[in-house]
Structure 1
Amino acid sequence: MSTTDVAIVGTGPNGLAAGVVLARAGLRVALHEAAETIGGGLRTAPLFDSGVLHDLCSAVHPMAAASPFFRAFGLAERGVELLHPEISYAHPLDGGRAALAHRSLAKTCEHLGADGPRWRRLMGPLLEHSEAVVDLVLSGQRRPPRSPAAALLLATRAAVHGSGLGAARFRGEEAPALLTGVATHAVGKLPSLASATVALLLGHLAHGTGWPLPRGGSGRIAEALAEDIRAHGGVFHTGHHVTDLAELGGARAVLLDTSVKGLLSLAGGRLPRRYARSLERFRYGPGAAKVDFLVCEPIPWADPRVGRAGTVHLGGTHAEMVRQETATARGVRTGEPFVLVVDPAVTDPGRALPGKRPVWAYAHVPHGDPTDPYELVRARIERHAPGFGDTVVAHRSVAAAAYEAYNPNYVGGDIGSGAMTLYQSLARPVPRLDPHRTPLPGVYLCSAATPPGPSVHGMPGYLAALSALRHSFGTRDVPDLAAGSPPLAFGRSG
């Protein structure tokens, strides 16, 4: 008799979300992780000093604050405190100027001058329907929207800002730079419908549930998920690299928090040829190259207000970002890539020690780019923070090509697990009614390569787990995910 009902490969946020659901369904769940520590993109560790913690991948979590899965799970009730910066994100421009997205929509509009009313008309209605907008974007995207009003609001705005017409709606440079900086989170050609949807989703959340950082680092989210899994009988096998589905043959359901490339490798020729060919055509996006800094003081931004922001976008004007991101998506290396910067101690002072604080930075680069990003990123920061280089005590850089070694899901440095084109946003990884269910009986894909795509929101894992409950265990009952709630009554299988 098998001692495992469900085997999950990979313990990123989606593998953990699937584990929470299935363990709470009363099933015996085992999670397998190739690394020595769980978490995938939710890992926090000391890199240079035992008292200073760096987020190894994700650092800021607007989707964890907003997603249906985490709303049901309740991070605050699990001891995870999401800290909100005064300014959600900032976008420095040349000449010491900066565009600022305050948590307050009114304050943001006040500082945008003539474009303030336009920003309010863009973001205000989305804020009024925020939960419905989030639920629409983070749905399985296979059913009609529950809120036609939210769908209409989002679609009409995305149609404008996904074209060249969007920036023309504004008069100054600050507002279009502010919005386009958020659009670059789609990591691809600009403008596009996919990037506009990301900009509108994340942009309005900056004034709503916010862009918070977990106190103590992103690893706290992974720890809370793992604690719940263990509390319901789940077990973890770390340092265990699963190379073939045959290793998991005793489980009735197998969920893979892996890339499409990983699914093909684990299946080892078992997939139907037509499905396999569709997976082989799956496109990956540009890469991310990362630099972790240990610095001796806060970043000396030319505009001191930028130092109050939780996230900083370095990309220049709207036109500059369009050129840079489009070139990067085409595989052309630029001398001034788009860079995201986070100084966690701005929001979470406990992350710093006297004379020592972490700084987190990503650059968007071509897929598989082998270039050491340190000089590019340092120069990009220095352009808007003169003297930054003098504050650097130590650094660690990871090229896009090397990111796949850290996490096999990041193929060629693509941290989004697949290009965020409109087609692949809707048909990840292939066009199927149930995209999480593979043609192999009992095998499901639960990673960001499935709808609703990347970011730390847990929804691919949640939706894949519900599919597994329906098809492998014959129940449509959904476990209550709240702290202290009992598991489903249908219990463990034999």
Structure 2
Amino acid sequence: MTDAVVVGSGPNGLAAALTLARAGLRVEVFEAHEHIGGGLRTEPLFDSEVLHDICAAVHPMAPVSPFMRSLDLEGNGVALLHSPAAYAHPLKGGPAALAWRDLDTTCAELGRDGPGWRRLMLPLMERSADVVELMLSSQRTPPNPRALAVLATRLPAQALRAGGGLRTEAARALLTGVAAHGIGRLPSLASAAVALLLGHLAHTTGWPVPRGGSRAVAAVMAAQIERLGGLIHTGVRVDSLRDLPARRLTLLDVSPRELARIAVLPARYLRMLSRYRYGPGAAKADFLIEGAIPWADPRLGQAATVHLGGAHGTAAELARAETATARGLRAPHPYIIVVDPAAADPARAVRGRRPVWAYAHVPHGDTRDPLPMIRAALENHAPGFTDTVIAERGVSAARLGVYNPNYVGGDIASGAMTLWQTLARPVPRWNPYRTPLPGTWLCSSATPPGPSVHGMCGYHAARAALATWPEAARSTPARLGGGGRPLER
């Protein structure tokens, strides 16, 4: 009999397993895919020497998340590499806007909005540890007053207007592009919080790319779990909690919908889960290209992350597109995140060939092949891009949800990022990780603090479970209806 079982090896599942293993528990992880990692997978898609990140590629939370910092990625051989500019935003017919790692350089390039950008970002940078602590908390502890003070003077302006009161189109588009990472209506309080968090990190710890791809981060977590005696099983699909081995604790890195599928839940909790809302989908394109992306403004090649949106790239166009998408409408020019990993990690380009990764925000469950819209958006700001493409593939939002059941309808945030659902994920209860089933905990990004690769959902869930460990260790092993038989591959 094992002490704990974790279902799912995404960043939160691995974080939960490692937290339990560090506490001395015997842990087993079960993953349906042949490879661990969930959103941290990296594979050669078209060329055996060129690696493509299948889901997450850029990791602004890796240097600041308390759990991720505990991994000592650099000490374990995973360098976090930076492009000169953290992110950028092209504007049709004019120079692009770039968020350089250096705040002074960014402000200088933003001209008359430079002082406004500094007033917005500098206090956040000075209180960065407090802001991150608040944003990555379980949201059930007293908030840090210093973080509240600096956010309270900034959130309202960002939530009321796209671009948050900045005057130039470059600065407004630069900030709105970050807010759109919230995947929902623009502007809103939730998107404003995302903009302030990710925006200020661009000028502090940056938006790094792990050397060799995102799978390197998952490999560090897996190695530490196994070093502590944990076991990781891949290629094992869990269709019922009854199929799991006898254990004291069960932690589930799954969506609320998947929880309802594999567990027999009390009717009241099931009704609460049924009210959980999923957000817009993401449709992905992967390209293998020859040479660099031929940006109309060559400076864009200095940013690993580039935001596209609207025909001209303006903040107003981007806000309209995101709001329409959140309402289930197909925007003619959707918001798109383009990642060029080789801008930060030149070794990702092999023999002149490099991977390019792109997501378009689309309505929930959208079935369209995203290649035409993403290719057209790139051509709009990088004329001749199509001529550089050696190979490509598109994955619709609907297919993304099939690839990873946590991405319901292509929702990579595992739940709509509204203010209410930010505070009440997945159901409104004091301990959001604990389910009504004995010893069973939810640890996916459908719990606080929500999406992104920070591992804190898994960490908080594991800590909550460990608080019950003396009681759980004395209880009858969890079989949940006669389970406990060995799983088969």
Q: TM-score, normalised by structure 2?
A: 0.95
Matching of residues 118-129 of structure 1 within 5 Å: 118-129=116-127
Match of 1:35 in 2: 33
Unaligned runs of 5+ in 2: 473-489
1:236 counterpart (232, 235, 240): 232
1:176 to 168, 172, 179: 172
Q: 1:249-264, aligned counterparts within 5 Å? A: 250-264=246-260
Give a deviation string over 1:313-368, Cα, whole Å, max 9, x none: 00111100110000000110112111101111111111111231100000000000
Structure 1 residue aligned with 2:300, among 291, 300, 306?
306
Which residue of structure 1 lines up, in the alignment, with residue 197 of structure 2? 201
> Counterpart of 1:12?
10
| Among candidates 412, 424, 429, match of residue 427 of structure 1 | 424
SS in 2 for 1:21: helix
Partner of 2:275: 281
Displacement of 1:207:
0.2
- SS where residue 394 of structure 1 aligns? strand
Give 1:354's aligned residue: 351
Cα deviations by residue, 1:458-485 (Å, 9 ceiling, x for unpaired): 000000000110123459xxxxxxxxxx
Q: Tell me, in whole angstroms, the C-alpha distance in 2 between the residues paired with 1:202 and 1:447.
A: 21
Give the 3 Å change call, closer, same or farther, for CA 469–371 of structure 1 in structure 2.
same
**Aligned-pair distance for 1:41?**
0.1
Describe the SS at the equivalent of 2:437: coil
**What does residue 471 of structure 1 align with?**
468
CA distance in 1, matches of 2:465, 2:146: 31
Alignment partner, residue 411 of structure 2: 414
CA distance in structure 2 between the partners assigned to 1:355 and 1:73 by the alignment: 33
Is structure 2 residue 86 aligned with structure 1 residue 94?
A: no
Cα contact 1:248–1:254 (8 A) shared by 2: no
Partner of 2:101: 103
Structure 1 residue 242 displacement after superposition: 0.5
For 1:473 and 1:18, the matched residues in 2 are separated by 18
SS in 2 for 1:65: coil
2: CA distance between counterparts of 1:168 and 1:470? 42
Q: Is the 8 A contact 2:31 2:233 kept in 1?
A: yes
TM superposition shift of 1:96: 3.6
- The one-letter code of the counterpart of 2:46 is F
Q: Over residues 32-88 of structure 1, what are the superposed CA-to-partner deviations in whole Å (9 max), with x where a residue is unaligned? A: 000000000000000001100000000000011211111222211221110011100
Q: Partner letter of residue 351 of structure 2?
A: P
Match of 1:491 in 2: none
Q: How far does the alpha carbon of each residue in 1:89-138 deviate from its partner, in whole angstroms, 9 at most, with x for none? A: 00000104211000001110000000000000000000001011001000
What is the distance in 2 between the residues matched to 1:38 and 1:385?
35
CA distance in 1, matches of 2:58, 2:405: 22
1:226 is matched by which residue type in structure 2? A
Give matches, 1:211-222, under 5 Å.
Answer: 211-222=207-218
Q: Distance in 1 between matches of 2:37 and 2:116?
A: 40
Give distance in 2, aligned partners of 1:439 and 1:358: 45
Counterpart for residue 436 of structure 2? 439
Pair 457,350 (structure 1): closer, same or farther in 2 beyond 3 Å: same
Letter in 1 for 2:212: G
Alignment of 1:317 with 2:314, yes or no, is yes
Out of 68, 77, 80, the position equivalent to 1:79 is 77
Per-residue displacement from partner, 1:190-229 (whole Å, max 9, x unpaired)?
1000000000000000001100000000000000000000
Range moving further from structure 2, 423-432 or 70-79: 70-79
Aligned to 2:362: 365
Flag structure 1 segments of 5+ consecutive residues without an equivalent: 476-494
Query: Partners in 1 of 2:155 and 2:270 — Cα distance?
Result: 33
Instruction: Note the C-alpha offset of 1:405.
Output: 1.5
- Structure 1 length-normalised TM: 0.94
CA contact (8 A) 1:110 1:116 kept: yes
Aligned amino acid, residue 173 of structure 2: A
Give a deviation string over 1:416-475, Cα, whole Å, max 9, x none.
000000000010001111101111110000000000000000000000000110123459
Provide the aligned C-alpha RMSD in A: 1.1
1:295 to 279, 289, 295: 289
Distance 1:229 1:195 in 2: 35
Aligned counterparts of 1:190 and 1:95: Cα–Cα separation in 2: 24
Amino acid at match of 1:461: G
Distance 1:195 1:139 in 2: 18
Aligned partners of 2:3 and 2:248 also within 8 Å: yes
Percent of aligned positions that are identical: 62
Figure out how many residues of one structure are paired with residues of the other and give that number: 469
Please give the alpha-carbon distance, in whole angstroms, between the structure 2 residues aligned to 1:441 and 1:15.
19
Displacement after TM superposition at 1:400 (Å): 0.3
Other structure's SS at 2:212 match: coil
Which of 341, 344, 347 matches 1:344?
341
Q: 2:98 and 2:116 mapped to 1: Cα distance?
A: 15
The 1-side partners of 2:164 and 2:18 are apart by 46
CA shift, 1:167, in A, is 3.1
Match of 1:486? none
Structure 2 CA distance, aligned partners of 1:424 and 1:36? 32
Q: Distance in 1 between matches of 2:334 and 2:27?
A: 42
Kept in 2: contact 1:13–1:222 (CA 8 A): yes
Tell me the equivalent position of 1:158: 155
